[in-house]
Chain A
C-alpha cells in the first residue's frame, strides 16, 4: 500500500462505533465538513507499521438504504469514496440483526473487517460466540472488541492492514441470489446497466439494479440526472416482477451467508 490506507468505520447506531473510532484515532480526531450538508465529518489517523492510516467515522446506519441525511452520508461515502477497507462495528449482543449491514457491505464488494463490539456484555450474559467460525463462514476477519476499554483496537488495525494488503483497495462484489422470481429480472437489468455503462464508473451494476428494484430515491435521482431516458427504462424493468407472498420464498442459499433469510425476504417483498 503506497501512502495512506483509507478506512471508513461503519456500523449500526448504538454499537459503540464512535467509541472505537476515538480509541483508534486518539487525539488526532478532527471534525470537518461534508460540503452542503450539516453532517459532521469525523476524521483521524493511526500509525501502523510505518503506514499512516486515514480513518473516517461514518454516521450510524442500519442498512445501505438511507432514511435520513446522516444515513445517506454514510452510504455515499462508502459507495462514492470507495475506501480501501471498511471496519464494520457490530453490536455483538444483537448479532443477527447487526450482520445485515455487514452482508450488504459484502454484497457491494467492500474489503471488510468485522469488529464485534460489547463483548464484555456478551460474556456477562453468558453467551459464547465462535468468532473463528463466523469469520470462516463470512470470509471476513472478525475481531472481538470492547471499545469502552479500548480492547481489540490493535487487533482490528492489524486485520485492516492485512485486508488492505490482500485486496489492494479492490472491491469484489458478491452476487447474492434474490430468489427465482427476481433473479432473472436482476440479471437482465444488470446486463443493461453494464452495457450502457450507466453509473457504472462508481457503482456496481448489480447493486444499481437492486436499488432500482427497491425504488431507492437517491440512486434513481442520480440516474435521472445522468440519463433520463435510460433511467425510465429501468423503472419499468423494475416494475415487471410480480408480487410474491413472502412465505413461498425459499431461504437464501449463498456460499457464505448465515443471515440468508434476511436478504432474501427484503428483496422479495420489495415489490408491493
Chain B
C-alpha cells in the first residue's frame, strides 16, 4: 500500500537538526535568534512607533490649542491622549515580535527550542514547552503576559502549566520595557543596553527561582512526561502566520483599548482631585508676586528679556513646590503618602508610589503617571529625556533606591488584565495568590535590595 517509504532514513529536518540542536551550535543559534528577534522588533518597530507618537503628539497639541482650558482639556490631553498614545505606539512592536514568534512556531523551530531547553527548565520545575509562553510574556523585552499566559495551554501537565502561568508575569513585558527605558535613561545613561540586559537576566533568574520554590511548596508533584513530537520543518504560510499573529495581538489590543483608557482617565482624576484649597493657591500666588517684585527691584537696569528669564528662574521653585503640595493633596498623593512608611523601608521616592499604584492596573501608565507626578504637565512620555533628567536630579533617587524600584517594578503584582487572564486560565484562587504573593515577594525583595544597597553606598 505504501511504496518507497523507509521510516528509518534521516529526513532533511533531522539533518538540519544536527546543526540546530548541536551541543555547541544549538544554544548559540538559539541565543542568536532571540537576540535577532529583539533587534528586529525594536529597529523595525521604531518607525511606526515614531509615526504613531508623532500623530498623538499632534493630537495633543491640537487639544491644547483648541480646547478651552480646564478639566476637560486636561483630562483629554493628559489623561486620554498621552496615556493611550504610549500604548498604541507600542502595538507595532508587539505585532512584529509576535509575528516572528508565530513564524518560528509554525516553522517548527520552537519545538526544537523546547527540546533544548527542557533539561534546564526541568531543574526549576518547569517544562521545555514553558519556553514559548515565557518568551511571549517578555522573555525578550516587549511582549505581553496576556497572550503569554493563554499560550500556556499547550502544556499538558497542570503543575508545570500553573508554575509557568504564575511566573510569566515576572518577565519584561512591553509595558515594563517602556518604564525601564525611561528609568534607565535617567539613571544609567552611559550604558542603557547593558542595564536592560541585566534587567532581562534578572527577570529570567526570578522566574526560574520562584518557579522552583512554588514547585517545592504550593504546586508539588512529579514532572510530566516530555514525550513530544518534533515536527518536520515546514515553511509557514503567510495566511497562517497572519491569522495566528492577529489572534495574539488582538488579545493585547483589546486590553489597550479598554483597560488602559479607563486607567489613564482614572489616574488623571486621582492625581488632579481634590485640588488645592483656594487659600493655599492664593498663598502661592502671593509668593510668586513677591518674587517677581523682588527680581524687578534687584535688577532695575535689566532688559525685558533678561528680566523675563530671571523672573522665570525665581518663580520656578515656587511653581514646583505648589505642584508638589497640590499633588500630595490629591487622592493619589494621599494614598502615596499613606504608604510612605512602608515604602520607606524599600527606599521608594513617594512619587514612585503613585506611579506604581497606577501601574497595577496597567503598567503602561507608569511613565505618564511619573511625568505628571514630576509636574511635566503636557509632556509626552516618549520625550522622556525631560522626565529622565528630572528624576536624575532628584536626590531621593539614590542608587539603592533606584535598584529597589527596579526590583519592585519587575516582580510586583501582574497588571489587572493579566490577573483576569490568569483567573480565566486557572482559577480566581490562583489569580489572587498571584497578586498577593508577588506583591509580598516584590516588597521583600526590594527592601533587601535597598538595605543591602545602603550598606555598599
Contacts and interface: CB of A to CB of B under 8 A. Distances in A.
Contact, chains A and B (beta carbon distance below 8 A): yes
Interface of A: 13-14, 19, 22, 38-39, 67-71, 93, 95-96, 121, 125-130, 133-134, 137, 148, 258
B156 A67 contact: yes
Interface string B219-253: 00000000001011000010110010000000000
Given A19-B237, A19-B240, A148-B237, A127 B232 contact: no
B2 A127 contact: yes
Given A19-B237, A93-B232, A128 B153 contact: no
B277 interface: no
A42 to B, nearest CB: 11
B425 A128 contact: no
B246 to A, nearest CB: 12
Contact of A130 (B2, B153, B154): B2
A129 B1 contact: yes
A39 B153 contact: yes
A121 B11 CA distance: 12
Nearest to A131: B1
A69 B3 contact: no
Contacts of B395: none
A126 B4 contact: yes
A148 B231 CA distance: 16
Contacts of B217: none
A67 to B, nearest CB: 5
B237 A129 contact: no
Contacts of B254: none
A13 B129 CA distance: 15
B242 to A, nearest CB: 12
Contacts of A137: 1
B152 to A, nearest CB: 10
B191 interface: no
A61 to B, nearest CB: 11
Given A95-B2, A121-B232, A134-B1, 17 more contacts: A13-B229, A14-B229, A19-B237, A68-B153, A68-B154, A70-B153, A125-B4, A125-B5, A126-B4, A127-B2, A127-B3, A128-B3, A128-B4, A129-B1, A129-B2, A130-B1, A258-B1
A136 B152 CA distance: 41
Contacts of B4: 125-128
B424 interface: yes
Contacts of A95: 2, 5
Given A129-B2, A130-B2, A137-B1, A38 B424 contact: yes
Contacts of B243: 22
A133 B156 contact: no
Interface in B185-210: none
Contacts of B3: 127-128, 130
Contacts of A148: 237
10 contacts: A13-B229, A14-B231, A19-B240, A22-B239, A126-B4, A127-B3, A128-B2, A129-B1, A134-B1, A137-B1
A133 B237 CA distance: 32
Contacts of A128: 2-4
The CB with the most chain A CB atoms within 10 A, among B1, B231, B232, B425, is that of B1
Contacts of B2: 95, 127-130
A205 B154 CA distance: 32
A134 B1 CA distance: 7
A10 B298 CA distance: 87
Contact of A38 (B1, B154, B237, B425): B425
Interface in B156-171: 156
Nearest to B6: A127
Contact of B153 (A14, A22, A38, A126): A38
A75 to B, nearest CB: 14
Contacts of B156: 67-68, 71
A70 B239 CA distance: 24
A14 B110 CA distance: 13
